[in-house]
Amino acid sequence: MALTGVLNDRTARYFDLVNEPQSLKRISGIPLADSEFKNFPAHGTTIPADWDVSFGDVLNWSKGRPTEAYFVMEDRTLLKNPDRTGSGYLTIPFIVTSKLKFLSFLYRFFLLVEYTRNALLKYEYVINTIGKDYVSTVEMHPDDIFIQKNWGIIPTEMQARHAEFIYDPLEEFLYVNIPHTSKSKEFKLGSTTIKDIETWFAG
């Protein structure tokens, strides 16, 4: 009998501190007083140890577009939404998604364990809660399972060139950029494959 699964502590959570401030709580389950976080956001600020937040969670202090949204980093500091558009949309950055690891396992008389990246699974709740209209892009590691399942395995030659893979969840395009060049192209989900990417890269 075979069994497959994905284990992780949790998907990324989204805290709307303007409309739902009661959602942010201490580890004990007690909601935080508004005064404790009302004027809190600042890039690099360290989250108190007793706040119930985890790496990758998003805290938003803004109305409308997430201009004042912050990611919780591994050391519990805050990283401000990098907003590559400059127009107040959420960019889920590579510095976060490249560190996401999900534990996968396959059982058939023995246990096979491997770690995979899955940025869209991690941020599905955040994207749906904010709304795709307010999320510009998700910057992905080339080994992300979403890329592998929908396009294929990224060749080592592209990884050696530090190719950037950026997904637009609203338009469903994967943008591939080669740093320090003018080489950039978008590939539509469902109608392009790794062969299209390889042909473009070699051209």
In a structure prediction context, what are the per-residue pLDDT tens digits for the chain, which is 203 residues long? 333 333 344 789 999 999 999 999 999 999 999 888 887 677 788 999 999 999 999 999 999 899 999 999 999 999 999 999 999 999 999 999 988 765 555 555 455 555 578 999 999 999 999 999 999 999 999 999 999 999 999 999 999 999 999 999 999 999 999 999 999 999 999 999 999 999 999 98
Nearest residue to 6 (alpha-carbon basis) of 149, 127, 126, 150: 149
How high is the pLDDT of residue 166? Answer: 98
What distance in Å separates the CA atoms of residue 156 and residue 89, rounded to the nearest whole number? Answer: 32
45: which DSSP letter?
Answer: P
How high is the pLDDT of residue 6? Answer: 38
What distance in Å separates the CA atoms of residue 112 and residue 5, rounded to the nearest whole number? Answer: 11
